[in-house]
């Protein structure tokens, strides 16, 4: 009886309906972010239509539009992704994943600083690069995208042929742009914590992937975690 109950629970965990229910809070969060960004996006688009948009506002608009596309893609993937073949065990890997996903929102509670034109441009370009990199990485992940450390399908092509975690690398590039825009040393400390959490997150993910896919060991030996040939 206990064996059958354990199998029943495992089957529920692998069901598509259960996966959609588990993803629903994240989908709601992404859609909430979309609504929050909409007024500023409309304002910047109005500036473009009037021909009065400035350089920094244009860069901000590019970042906002990229964020819109990324959110739509993430929601689509959460709705259509494959069911997991294997999940990390215990609460700690899930807690780390949640922190890695949402901790960056802490920048919104810091005080913005006035930057020189060149520094502001640099910060905006880093954010745009982060969004663009995230779009590329998520597009390659496709149905294997997941918030939690889970094995859905092994992806080793595209940017994943160069580094093992290009999505987190892109996110950290974007975080670097945020660090520049907010009060120091708080922004730098928060950025360092986000980096540490994302690194910890990859450790849990790789454990699951090694267990689920024997080929991952060979893939891991020929690629770096974040930066090719370095780290």
Domain that holds residue 95: 2-222
> How confident is the model over 150-196, as pLDDT tens digits?
999 999 999 999 999 999 999 999 999 999 999 999 999 999 999 99
**DSSP helix/strand/coil, 182:** strand
pLDDT recorded at residue 14 = 55
Task: Quote the Cα angle for 167-172-173, to 5°.
Answer: 100
**What is the overall mean pLDDT for the chain?**
89
Residue 74 CB partners (closer than 8 Å, separation 6+) = 30, 138, 145
Indicate the pTM of the whole model: 0.87
Domain assignment of residue 29, yes or no: yes
Task: Return the number of other C-beta atoms located less than 10 Å from residue 11's C-beta.
Answer: 10
Domain assignment of residue 141, yes or no: yes
What does R_g of the chain's alpha carbons equal in angstroms? 19
Question: Cα torsion at 149, 151, 154, 156 (round to 10°)?
Answer: 0
pLDDT recorded at residue 6 = 47
pLDDT recorded at residue 33 = 84
CATH code for position 166: 1.20.120.1630
Domain assignment of residue 40, yes or no: yes
Q: Is a pLDDT exceeding 70 seen at residue 26? A: yes
Domain assignment of residue 228, yes or no: no
Q: What is the 3-state secondary structure (H, E, C) of 103-170?
A: HHHHHHHCCECCCCHHHHHHHHHHHHHHHHHHHHHHHHHHHHCCCCCEECCCCCCHHHHCECCHHHHH
Q: Is a pLDDT exceeding 60 seen at residue 3? A: no
Domain assignment of residue 230, yes or no: no
Q: Is a pLDDT exceeding 60 seen at residue 7? A: no
Q: Is a pLDDT exceeding 70 seen at residue 61? A: yes
- The domain total for the chain is 1
Q: Is 186 left (phi over 0), alpha (psi -120 to 50) or beta?
A: alpha
pLDDT class for 230, splitting at 50, 70, 90?
confident
pLDDT recorded at residue 5 = 45
pLDDT class for 12, splitting at 50, 70, 90?
very low
Q: Which stretch of DSSP H or E encloses residue 69?
A: helix 55-80
């Amino acid at each position: 009886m206990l064996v059958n109950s354990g199998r029943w629970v495992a089957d529920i965990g692998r069901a598509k309906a259960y996966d959609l229910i588990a993803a629903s809070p994240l989908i709601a969060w992404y859609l909430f972010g979309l609504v929050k960004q909409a007024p500023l996006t409309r304002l910047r688009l109005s500036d473009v239509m009037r021909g009065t948009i400035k350089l920094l506002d244009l860069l901000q608009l590019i970042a906002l539009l990229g964020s819109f596309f990324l959110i739509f893609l993430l929601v689509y993937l959460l709705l259509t992704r494959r069911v997991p073949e294997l999940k990390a065990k215990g609460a700690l890997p899930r807690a780390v994943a949640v922190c890695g996903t949402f901790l960056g929102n802490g920048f919104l509670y810091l005080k913005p600083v006035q930057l020189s034109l060149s520094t502001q441009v640099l910060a905006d370009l880093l954010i745009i690069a982060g969004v663009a990199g995230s779009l590329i990485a998520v597009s390659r992940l496709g149905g294997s995208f997941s918030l939690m450390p889970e094995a859905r399908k092994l992806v080793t092509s595209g940017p994943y042929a160069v580094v093992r975690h290009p999505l987190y690398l892109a996110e950290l590039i974007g975080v670097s742009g945020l660090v520049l825009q907010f009060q120091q040393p708080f922004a730098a400390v928060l950025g360092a914590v986000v980096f540490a959490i994302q690194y910890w997150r990859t450790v849990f993910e790789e454990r699951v992937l090694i267990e689920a896919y024997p080929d991952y060991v060979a893939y891991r030996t020929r690629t770096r975690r974040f930066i090719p040939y370095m780290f």
